[in-house]
Structures are given as structure tokens and as C-alpha cells.
């Protein structure tokens, strides 16, 4: 089996998820390529953090606090970089310029200017494979909905609704973190933090937003600073983007994209609903293994609920009857990244990770949404 040697920059939640996926790579039964993590880096590296990685990964040879040590390590072929948004431009550009393949966390730059700089580095280094992280489409039920999009079963699209909702900031006593500070998270606020997830499938389908009327909410304007005082919360908690979307086969339709960090009753919900003249379909991670389908032929309308098992794009040792979860989606996403790196194309259209062009489109949408909310008007997405 071919091996790609990785460095991880940012050893927090998502760094551990990738490391855990690498530890269970044998779970994938038909992959011809595997990750080998040889370098780990975090500016706040602790002995406990390093021990966790080394105990699970005997391949780790380098542990450091300076990301340039990973970038300049000749053994490292690819990097997973999961750091706050204000570091994206500097870190991503240096990784790409060094000739390392990159999986970068969303939003791929703190703002449009930073994203443009990252894209210039990609254009200057065409031999480097670069993708953005998003697990959303990799659940079996979502893959089935994606196949329906690819087979054009919906007929004329009536409307699309896509969103990512959770309630992690419902508790007003929760101390402030970097995602509530503009200098680290950026002016996009929740759009930059969560927005790529609900954009992934619509953008891959070719449903391009051409204008947007956005409403943004800063619901909790200050939080405990962790030092006995209060700190200003400057970023948007919730965003609703009402878009006119262009279909690749012609015509337009309404598309609503929601990102909310304060959504009562939501734990961590991704959803997509497509309504068409011939067929409609719904998916939500509230029931991660279920897809709901309504086919219309002129007779009665009835929603059909189908429970999916472990029917994954990248086959695993898990029996097809067993249910699928978030850590499985992480493993499938990384299989998608390495499959495309090796083969030069995704296994299927919807089993590839977010491309730089799709990340750029998200920046265009979020930038237009900021202007739309400010001007209280519809703004072109350009």
C-alpha cells in the first residue's frame, strides 16, 4: 500500500480526529493509499498532548511548537492544518509554497483578501494538491441524496434549504473563546466558522448563489473573560442567507443557507432539503442514517423514510447493517482526500473534499452577506 507522510499543525479537536482516523485506517478495506503521521505541531504543545499522539501513533518522529519545523521537514509530504482563521493565510501559503499537499480547515482564510492570497499560492504551485475540510456529504444517507442530485431526479428545482445549527453558545455564562473575537475568527463570524458545511453539497451540485439578502445576529454581546471580568463578543452568532441560485442546466431558484451557533434544541445538526417538481428529499444529522424521499407522478404525495446502514463510498470492514456515525464520516472524508490525491480525481463527484474554487465561492457569498446585512438590501455575489 502506498503511504503519504503527514504533519499535523494544530493538535486540538480536529487534529485528534485525523490522528484517530489514521489509527484505524485498516478499517477501510479497499484503499490503496494510507496516511502516516510523522510530525505533530501545536503552539501550546504540552507533554500530555504529545503523549496522546505518540501512544497511538508510533510513526511520530517530530513534535514541535513552530509550524515552520513541519513545513521545512523534508520527510513530510502533506499537512493537515487546523488553526484559528487569522493564521490561515500565513500558514497555508507557506505550506503550499514548500510543496506540501494540504488539507486546510475552513474557511480557508479569515477573509476574501486572505483567501485570494492562498489561491495565488495554489496557482503558483500546480503540483500541490489542496483541499478544504468538510465531513457533511460523507454519510451514506447524504451520499444517496447526492446520487439523486447527480442523476437529476428532482426535475425543476423549487427550492433548496441547507444549514448547520448547534447550541454551543446558548449558555450566556460560557467564557469567551477565539471564535467570538474578530481578530481571530474574522468579520464573517458564524459564517466563517460553520458556513462551508452547508455550502459544500449545493456548490458541488453547481447551484451557484448569484445574489443574497442576509440577516446576521449578534445575540450575546459580552461573555465572561475567564479572569473575573466580561469581554465584548464582536462576531455574528447566527446568519441566514436568502439566495437566488443558478442551476447549471439553466434557470434560478431560491436557496436558503443557515449557520447558527445559538439554535435552541439543536445539538450539532447539518441538514439539506431539496424540493423539486418530480421528487423531493430531506437529510438531517438528527437522524444521521435516514433519508426521506417524496416522488410525485400526479397521484398522492407520501414521504418515504429509508434507513441506511454502513453503505459507504469507501468500503469498510463494518457490516452494511450497522449504523454510521460522525467518526465514520471523518474517516470517509480522509479516504476521499487520499483517493483523489493518488488518482487525480474523486471516486465520485460528491465523494471529494471541498475544492479551492468552492472555498472561494463561499468567501464571495459571505462577503456579499456582510454587505447585504449592512445595507439591508440584496447584494450580488461576485
pLDDT digits (tens, 9 = 90+) for 5-21: 999 999 999 999 999 99
| pLDDT tens readout for residues 262-313 | 999 999 999 999 999 999 999 999 999 999 999 999 999 999 999 999 999 9
pLDDT value, residue 180: 93
pLDDT at 173 over 90: yes
Say yes or no: 109 and 146 in one domain: no
What's the whole-number mean pLDDT along residues 12-37? Answer: 97
Question: Is-contact 149 350, C-beta < 8 A?
Answer: yes
In whole numbers, what is the pLDDT of the chain averaged over residues? Answer: 97
Q: Could you tell me if 161 and 264 lie in one domain?
A: yes
**Spatial CA neighbour of 200 closest among 137, 273, 113:** 137
Inside any domain, residue 334? no
Q: How far is CA 126 from CA 97, 119, 123, in A?
A: 10, 11, 6
Please write the tens of the pLDDT for every residue from 317-371: 999 999 999 999 999 999 999 999 999 999 999 999 999 999 999 999 999 999 9
Cα separation, 204 vs 358, whole angstroms: 8
**189 and 96 housed in the same domain:** no
Residue 343 lies in a domain: no
Could you tell me the pLDDT band of residue 148, with boundaries at 50, 70 and 90? very high
Write the pLDDT tens digit of every residue in 196-227: 999 999 999 999 999 999 999 999 999 999 99
pLDDT at position 261 over 90: yes
- DSSP, collapsed to helix, strand or coil, labels residue 336 as helix
Do 121 and 84 fall into the same domain? yes
Determine what percent of the chain is predicted with pLDDT higher than 90: 99
Q: How far is 200 from 164, CA to CA, in rounded Å? A: 11
**Pairwise CA distance, residues 83 & 76, whole Å:** 18
CA trace torsion 348, 349, 353, 357 (10° rounding): 150
pLDDT for position 330:
98
- Under the banding of pLDDT at 50, 70 and 90, the label for residue 136 is confident
DSSP state of 34: E
> How many whole angstroms separate alpha carbon 168 and alpha carbon 166?
6
Instruction: Find the helix or strand (DSSP H, E) in which 207 lies.
Output: none
Shared domain check, 143 and 95: no
Using a 10 angstrom Cβ sphere, with 0-12 exposed, 13-18 middle and 19 or more buried, the burial of residue 275 is middle
Predicted confidence band at 316 (pLDDT cuts at 50, 70, 90)? very high
Reply yes or no: is the peptide bond before residue 242 cis, omega within 30 of 0. Answer: no
Beta bridge partner(s), residue 160: 255, 274
Handedness of CA 68, 122, 342, 347 (dihedral sign): positive
Neighbours of 201 (CB within 10 A): 23
Q: Based on the structure, what is the number of domains in the chain? A: 2
Mean local confidence (pLDDT), 149-165:
98
Mean pLDDT of 187-200: 97
Preceding amide of 107 cis, omega within 30: yes
Same domain, yes or no: 127 and 218: no
- DSSP-derived secondary structure letter, 354: B
Burial class (CB in 10 A: 0-12, 13-18, 19+), 113: exposed
Picking from 294, 326, 353, the residue whose alpha carbon sits closest to that of residue 102 is 353
Is 150 in the same domain as 278? yes
User: Nearest 5°: phi and psi at 187?
Assistant: -70, -20
**Residue found under cell 472561494:** 360
Asked if the structure places residue 194 within a domain, the reply is yes
Quick one: 108 and 168 in the same domain? no
Residue 72 predicted with pLDDT over 90:
yes
Q: Which three three-digit cell numbers place residue 202?
A: 449545493
Q: Which residues pair with 184 in a beta bridge?
A: none
CATH number at residue 258: 3.30.360.10
Range of the domain at 85: 2-132
Supply the pLDDT for residue 94.
Answer: 98
Is 357 within 8 Å of 341 (Cβ atoms)?
Answer: no
Same domain membership, residue 181 and residue 124: no
Amino acid at each position: 500500500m502506498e503511504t503519504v507522510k503527514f504533519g499535523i499543525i494544530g493538535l486540538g479537536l480536529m487534529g485528534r480526529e485525523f490522528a484517530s482516523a489514521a489509527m484505524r485506517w485498516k478499517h477501510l478495506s479497499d484503499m490503496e493509499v494510507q496516511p502516516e503521521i510523522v510530525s505533530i505541531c501545536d503552539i501550546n504543545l504540552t507533554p500530555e498532548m504529545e503523549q496522546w499522539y505518540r501512544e497511538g501513533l508510533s510513526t511520530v518522529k517530530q513534535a514541535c511548537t513552530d509550524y515552520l519545523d513541519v513545513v521545512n521537514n523534508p520527510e513530510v509530504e502533506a499537512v493537515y492544518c487546523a488553526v484559528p482563521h487569522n493564521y490561515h493565510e500565513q500558514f497555508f501559503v507557506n505550506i503550499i509554497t514548500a510543496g506540501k499537499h494540504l488539507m486546510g480547515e475552513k474557511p480557508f482564510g479569515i477573509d476574501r483578501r486572505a483567501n485570494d492570497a492562498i489561491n495565488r499560492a495554489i496557482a503558483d504551485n500546480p503540483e500541490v494538491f489542496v483541499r478544504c475540510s468538510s465531513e457533511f456529504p460523507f454519510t451514506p444517507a447524504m451520499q444517496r441524496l447526492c446520487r439523486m442530485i447527480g442523476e437529476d431526479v428532482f426535475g425543476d428545482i423549487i427550492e433548496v434549504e441547507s444549514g448547520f445549527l448547534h447550541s454551543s453558545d446558548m449558555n450566556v455564562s460560557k467564557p469567551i473563546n477565539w471564535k467570538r473575537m474578530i481578530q481571530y475568527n474574522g468579520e464573517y463570524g458564524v459564517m466563517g466558522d460553520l458556513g462551508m458545511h452547508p455550502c459544500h453539497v449545493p456548490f458541488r451540485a453547481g447551484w451557484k448563489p448569484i445574489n443574497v439578502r442576509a440577516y446576521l445576529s449578534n445575540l450575546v454581546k459580552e461573555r465572561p473573560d475567564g479572569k473575573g471580568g466580561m469581554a465584548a463578543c464582536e462576531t455574528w452568532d447566527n446568519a441566514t442567507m436568502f439566495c437566488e441560485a443558478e442551476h447549471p442546466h439553466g434557470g434560478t431558484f431560491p436557496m436558503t443557507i443557515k449557520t447558527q451557533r445559538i439554535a435552541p434544541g439543536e445539538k450539532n445538526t447539518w441538514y439539506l432539503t431539496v424540493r423539486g417538481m418530480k421528487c423531493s428529499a430531506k437529510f438531517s444529522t438528527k437522524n444521521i442514517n435516514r433519508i426521506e424521499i417524496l416522488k410525485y407522478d400526479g397521484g398522492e404525495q407520501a414521504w418515504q423514510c429509508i434507513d441506511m446502514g454502513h453503505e459507504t463510498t469507501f468500503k469498510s470492514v463494518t457490516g452494511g447493517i450497522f449504523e454510521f456515525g460522525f467518526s465514520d464520516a471523518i474517516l470517509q472524508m480522509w479516504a476521499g482526500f487520499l483517493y483523489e490525491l493518488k488518482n487525480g480525481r474523486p471516486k465520485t463527484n460528491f465523494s471529494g473534499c471541498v475544492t479551492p474554487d468552492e472555498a472561494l465561492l463561499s468567501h464571495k457569498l459571505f462577503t456579499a452577506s456582510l454587505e447585504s446585512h449592512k445595507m439591508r438590501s440584496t447584494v450580488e455575489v461576485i
